[in-house]
Structure 1
Amino acid sequence: VWARLGAKVSVVEALPRIIPHADAELAEALCRSLGKQGLAFHLETRVERAASQGGTVSVHATHQGQDVLLQGDKVLVAVGRRPCTTGLGLEELGVEFEPNSRRIQVNDGFQTSVPGIYAIGDVIRGPMLAHKAEDEGIAVAERLAGRKTHVDYNTIPSIVYTWPEVASVGETEEQLQQRGVDYRVGKVPFLANGRARCLDETEGFVKILAEARTDRLLGVHIFGPRASELIAECVTVMEYRGSSEDIARISHGHPTLYEVVREAALAVDRRAIHV
């Protein structure tokens, strides 16, 4: 946002790449795209200290043993969040916490160590996402009403609201390789999509990962326009243990960005039409 408003933006990241939990190919594509938009990335760089003097902020960092000095008007610290669980009287009630993160310990039914006290959202395990917390809240309410329910954390979508957007669900290629899973890849660029061309938003791609033997959808990773909306179809199919063939056989309206998702599903079996 700041870069689009004309500010010079420098990003300092201690790890070798940005959005480290995302699919590596997706993260690399986003880094290139933001670089073309004018953002400067300092990867594998660790901030040592920062000071403000005379309206100028100086950030002192190190990269591979070398000193790095960055100066600007403002510093935005974005190193993550911590659950707000102190000062609520939970310790006095006997609620147990995870020792390092201070997250509240819960069982599979979201009940804490104290009967009758439940916890959801950012204060328990899992990603700190609003839609994840919403699903957990519904699950707790249904359990209290005597219904059986669960939350499938493998189908919780993750979204990065840059432009182009990034959206993912399921496992990455790196995770599948670490588990030794035999999988197939279908990948199609937005450049091959008529609606994307009309919008002049052709940067990016859709990548679908499916199990080689069963074709079951294992992960979907989207970098491109409206990725945050396109991922919903894939979440639905994964929730019902569907396959790439299921997406490929569904008629998608033309011209729409959703057609790229279908093309990627067809590409899993090397049957893409427009690439």
Structure 2
Amino acid sequence: MVVGDFAKEVDVLVIGAGPGGYVAAIRAAQLGRKVTIVDKDALGGVCLNRGCIPSKAIISAAERYHHMKDSADMGLEVTGEVRVNMPKLIEWKNSVVNKLTGGVKQLLKGNNVEIVSGEAYFSGTNTVRISTEDSSQTYQFNDCIIATGSRPAELPILRFDGKRILSSTEALNLKEVPNRLIVVGGGYIGLELGTAYAKLGSQVTILEGTKSLLPGTDPALTRMVTRRLKKLGVTVVTEAFVQGGEVNGDEVTVKAEVKGEEKTFTGDYCLVSVGRKPNTDELGLDLIGVELDERGFIKIDNQCRTNVEHIYAIGDCAGGALLAHKASYEAKVAAEAMSGHPSVIDYQAMPFVIFSDPEIAYTGLTEEQAKAEGYTPAVSRFAFQANGRALSMNNADGFVQIVADQETKRVLGAQIVGPEASSLISEIVLAIEMGATAEDIALTIHAHPTLPETVMEAAEGILGHAIHMVNKK
């Protein structure tokens, strides 16, 4: 039955309830707007349901299991069998997801945001048709924020079947630990999940088309990760160009050209992780003239506004770095700009985090980028091997590196590989945002013994008076 011949009028319509959409809805409501949010799937979007949160839950479980089995050098000897109950692990992971999505629902309701379930399609520059399986309704809006996110990209020669050839979505819901797992793509998603399953007991092979894992990441950071993968027994094959694959019963075979030679890899499952594509192709954007780039991402200005003045786009569907925290940041800018505030996007201190082993995090400029922008950079690197807390955790591989302007000592960037890099990077992000100098960090008293002392020591190295490493002459 089709209902809703008359359009329902709303003030602000947000399409998509992920970390961009729900944040935009709440911020707009805080600014006095009457907001309606629609999502065809689940509150929290990909991040909470099929991405950031469930993957980190599995990574954390795998890390704990690995430590239980591999702590003999600390005097912790396991005499009985330590087993992985994969269905129970997935059940726990889902409970974490449910708690967070339930929290999002309460936040939206607490800010008087109307929640609508359904699939949105633009029928005009001020109207959207929202459809469910048995009904549809037209909504007329004053302003709209598109926050539809992205989905895993598929290889035409190795299409997902959801059973043996998997996207990251299916890989987060396996009911068993694969004996053999092939990962096509050595970017951050494939690397994170491949490492987690290796720790849970899988024999993992990663096939990457470029010359190294994590293309575009500082080689000094990736070397530490590659070294750890070898210790975990992960096989990494670079310059591997996948030619195709097929499923035979309970096995999947992948063919790849490796340095001019055709090779075959066989596993129980194959995770294909070769990037993501924007969810912009089924919205009717072409009907209302919203401009897209050649890859299908929505073009926006520095206030997240599209070429259609009262329509905004944020997060993955608007391109750039596909990061949940970037989506949330843009959400606030869009909601504020839409409400008459002079907010603009500024990515100078965007944190990038990879939950590899060890973790990688970076922000701002590298030494090479600083030179390219006309700075004379000063660089200081402090090793976790000289940090008491890292050693007491038996997790001291890696370093903190700070890049600063030689003349003013203003912090320009940082690169971290090591324990809890994902948390440590926040101090540097704040320093860059505030225009802080290395001296500002060095004069900040850091508790001992803690991992953040590595940031302080690296900053002191910029000034030439680090205590726990030899300073450069």
The reply to whether residue 138 of structure 1 matches residue 332 of structure 2 is yes
User: Which residue of structure 2 lines up, in the alignment, with residue 183 of structure 1?
Assistant: 377
2:289 to 77, 82, 94: 94
Alpha-carbon offset, residue 188 of structure 1: 0.8
Alignment match of 2:361 (pick from 145, 163, 167): 167
Pairing 1:222–2:222 present: no
Out of 97, 100, 123, the position equivalent to 2:317 is 123
The structural deviation recorded for 1:68 is 2.1
Task: Give the deviation of 1:82 after TM superposition.
Answer: 0.6
RMSD between aligned residues: 1.5
Q: 1:43 to 1:179 in 2, by over 3 A?
A: farther
2:278 is paired with a residue whose SS is coil
AA partner of residue 24 (structure 1): P
Worse-matched range after superposition: 251-260 or 30-39: 30-39
Residue equivalent to 1:12: 207
Please state if 1:57 is matched with 2:252. Answer: yes
Query: Which residue number corresponds to residue 79 of structure 1?
Result: 274
Deviations 1:99-155 (A, max 9, x none): x21011111111111121000000113101000000000011112232222232121
For 2:264 and 2:368, the matched residues in 1 are separated by 34
> What residue number does 1:213 align with?
407
Provide the rounded CA distance (Å) in 1 between the counterparts of 2:374 and 2:243: 39
Identify the residue that residue 111 of structure 1 maps to in structure 2: 305
Secondary structure class of the residue paired with 2:274: coil
Is the contact between residue 17 and residue 28 of structure 1 (CA under 8 Å) also seen in structure 2?
no
Q: 1:36 aligns with which of 213, 220, 231?
A: 231
* Residue 177 of structure 1: how far off its partner (Å): 4.9
Please tell me the residue identity of whatever aligns with 1:189.
A
Matching residue within 144, 154, 177 for 2:348: 154
- 1:166–1:224 CA contact under 8 A, matched in 2: yes
Task: Give CA deviations for 1:184-203 in whole Å, capped at 9, x if unaligned.
Answer: 21111111111112211111
Write the letter of the residue equivalent to 1:253: A
C-alpha separation in 1, matches of 2:418 and 2:286: 46
* Cα distance in 2, alignment partners of residues 112 and 255 from structure 1: 49
2:250 corresponds to 1:250: no
3-state SS of the aligned residue for 1:154? coil
What is the match of residue 203 of structure 1? 397
Aligned mates of 2:285, 2:247 — CA distance in 1? 38
2:422 maps to a residue whose letter is S
1:156-206 alpha-carbon deviations (Å, 9 max, x no partner): 100001232111101223434555642121111111111112211111111
Structure-1 separation of matches of 2:207 and 2:368: 24
**Letter of the structure 2 residue corresponding to residue 94 of structure 1:** G
* Larger Rg over CA atoms: 2
1:72-94 deviations in Å (ceiling 9; x for gaps): 11110111101100111211111
Distance 2:197 2:230 in 1: 14
**1:45: which partner in 2?**
240
Which deviates further from its counterpart, 201-210 or 175-184? 175-184
Unaligned runs of 5+ in 2: 1-195
Quickly say closer, same or farther: Cα 1:31–1:177, change in 2 above 3 A.
farther
TM-score (norm 1): 0.95
Cα distance in 2 for partners of 1:117, 1:239 equals 29
| Amino-acid identity (%) | 39
Number of residue equivalences: 274
User: Contact (CA 8 Å) 1:23, 1:174: kept in 2 or not?
Assistant: no
Asked whether the equivalents of residues 376 and 406 of structure 2 are also in contact (C-alpha less than 8 Å), the reply is yes
3-state SS of paired residue (2:348): helix
Greater shift after overlay, 175-184 or 119-128?
175-184
SS at match of 2:312: coil
Structure 1 residue runs of 5 or longer lacking an equivalent are none
8 Å CA contact retained: 1:263, 1:274: yes
Between stretches 62-71 and 256-265, larger displacement belongs to 62-71
CA distance in 1, matches of 2:349, 2:305: 22
